[in-house]
A and B are shown apart, each in its own frame.
Chain A
Amino acid sequence: MNQGSLLQRLIARPEAGPFVLLLVEIIVFGSLNPDFLSPENIGNTLAFTVELGLIALAMTLLMTSGEFDLSVGSVFGFAPVLMWTLFNGGIVPLNVAFVAALAMAAVIGLVNGWFVTRLKITSFLVTLGMLLVVRGTALFITQGFPQRTWSAGGHALTSILVGEFRVGRMRLYMSLFWFIAAALALGYVLTGTKVGNWIQASGGNAGAARARGVNVDRTKVSLFVLSAVMSAFAGIISSIRTSAANPNSGTGYELEVIAMVVIGGTALTGGRGTVIGTVLGIFILRAMRNGIILVGVPGLAYNIFIGAIILGMMALHASLERRHHAGT
């Protein structure tokens, strides 16, 4: 394989556009405000980035299978509320409350998957309904008030999930490793395994996949469960890090997460997905939000840039797709 064709193949990959965009962001923001690349800023930005990122990784697999999940933000808010309510009420120890919150999320995912695959209702409507039910439940059981979380200080679980540590002047959290591990594992599953092949086939042509004996419904249900459990996991990490379990937290995250996934090159219509692309998409959006503020653009203008990025990337992915179909 010669250099030229290797370069051409890299450029033709769906991740090439997002990669260049991220580089441009880093160069532009970095040169306009040196603080952008300071260890303090990178550490601070990473903390929340990986929490959203965990959800986006799971969403990538779900979207590749041809579905998506609008209830992730509400589960992100609900799971920590449930965990702290159980723990603060003296009902169960913290570890048990943690497992119970994840199990509850798994049930939410199962219900989503069951409605979509058995009742054949589109995931848009099912997960929108679930968003309202879950958010409503979180508000109801807390009467709208945040839950206390500080009583967990020094607990082993909190240090395993989001223990703080320093690399030079950079403050980092253990959640970074959870994100890296999840990205590696899910990237491997999607590209290298039989399960990954089934996920892509379920989203690409469910009828053909079923005819070959692929269990499309079970594949999709499992991914709804994964999406909900990851959202709960991210929400719990976030609540421990910020010492707050607010029943309203996570509002609007679903759209930000879906934007991260599609910017990275995963098809909204299913069949094609990339975990590497999603990791790039996660950093593109978070670097944009952080950079805009640092260079003095009013934060209210953030959505203009995000919208422009989504449109630009969609145009790029669509044109790559057309070339793909033309076989060039």
Chain B
Amino acid sequence: MAGELIRMEHIHKFYGRVHALDDVNFVVREREIVGLLGDNGAGKSTLIKVLSGAVPISSGAIYVHGRKVDIRRTSDAIAQGIETIYQDSALVPQLSIARNLFLGREPLRAPHFLNRMDQAAMDEVARRLLRQVGITKDIPPSIPVSALSGGERQAVAIARAMYFDSELIILDEPTNNLGVAETQGVLRFVRAARDSGHSCIFIAHNIHHVFQVVDRIVVMRHGKIVADDIDPRHTTIEAVEQVITGMSDAELGTAAP
């Protein structure tokens, strides 16, 4: 069994009176894709926002590789190797693919006081990464991200997370508003990320997408985790749907106390 990457313990999150996360315990292991399922309002987005530094926790603790960490801002999470990929919002549309990949970590050419970016090196890495995440179309790294489709943008964001060795890549509903081919593309990038040693949290409305790609399913309901060890290879979509809606008593892979 692979080691533990992320451990979240007794997490509570209140939005005013709304108890969005109610004593959540959640673990992500190394090299694993976790599918996070639950009805609208179950608290999935809140859980990953807490982990990615987008919102502060009300109480609880977060550990990375067993070490307690303090995540207050998005940049804190990125520094811990946790990268969240929202549709669009993580990229600068006007900048080229290569410059987006290296934003904030631009390689410089000597002499450094001229502050000149090493464009050739950035383009070279970008080209290689695009192939690695399975973009077969010949997209030059110099074109602006605004010219890419939604799926391609997510591929760029995933490529960036992989290159800078994010250990955990979080995708919140990455397949919404995508066509069939693009969805398959995103699922392929997720697998590619896992195969090169990264872990993923994958949230999607469409359970079929989740079943195609994840190693383990975690289900949330009303701010609580109600099942945290469902193996998609040993269950059916119908059974998981029942856990999500709360119609099943004999819950699969019930959360350990």
Interface residues of A (CB under 8 A from B): 189, 192-195, 197, 200-201, 203-205, 207-214, 267, 271-272, 324-327
Contacts and interface: CB of A to CB of B under 8 A. Distances in A.
B104 interface: yes
Contacts of A272: 94
Contact of B104 (A189, A203, A209, A325): A209
B92 A211 contact: no
Given A189-B115, A192-B117, A214-B104, 4 more contacts: A197-B103, A200-B94, A201-B95, A327-B148
B117 A211 contact: no
A65 to B, nearest CB: 12
Contact of A211 (B90, B99, B146, B147): B90
Nearest to A211: B74
B115 A204 contact: no
A325 B147 contact: yes
B116 interface: yes
A235 B156 CA distance: 46
B106 interface: yes
A197 B106 contact: yes
14 contacts: A192-B119, A200-B99, A201-B92, A204-B94, A205-B91, A208-B90, A208-B91, A209-B103, A209-B104, A211-B75, A211-B78, A212-B75, A271-B93, A324-B146
A307 to B, nearest CB: 27
Interface in B90-113: 90-95, 99, 103-106, 108
A194 B90 contact: no
B89 interface: yes
A200 B92 CA distance: 8
A326 B148 CA distance: 8
Contacts of A324: 144, 146-147
B114 interface: yes
Interface string B113-130: 011110100000000000
B94 A271 contact: yes
Interface string B58-76: 0000000000000000110
A325 B146 contact: yes
A324 B94 CA distance: 10
Interface residues on B, range: 20 to 34
Nearest to B79: A213
A209 B117 contact: no
Given A194-B106, A197-B106, A204 B93 contact: yes
Contacts of A212: 75, 78, 103-105
Interface string B130-162: 000000000000011011100000000000000
B75 A210 contact: yes
B95 A197 contact: yes
Nearest to A205: B92
Contacts of A211: 74-75, 78, 90
B104 A213 contact: yes
Contact of A193 (B90, B91, B114): B114
Contacts of B117: 192-194, 197
Contacts of A194: 106, 108, 115-117
A211 B117 CA distance: 20
A205 B115 contact: no
A326 B149 CA distance: 9
A21 to B, nearest CB: 23
B128 to A, nearest CB: 20
A195 B90 CA distance: 19
Contacts of B143: 327
B220 to A, nearest CB: 25
Contacts of B94: 200, 203-204, 267, 271-272
A214 B90 CA distance: 13
B255 to A, nearest CB: 31
Nearest to A207: B89
Nearest to B149: A327
B124 to A, nearest CB: 17
Contacts of B105: 212-213
Contact of B89 (A189, A197, A205, A326): A205
Nearest to B112: A194
For B93, B103, B106, B146, the residue with the greatest tally of chain A CB atoms inside 10 Å of its CB is B103
A194 B119 CA distance: 10
Contacts of B99: 197, 200
A50 to B, nearest CB: 25
A214 B105 CA distance: 9
A327 to B, nearest CB: 4
A218 B16 CA distance: 33
A213 B75 contact: yes
A193 B116 contact: yes
A327 B74 contact: no
A325 B144 CA distance: 9
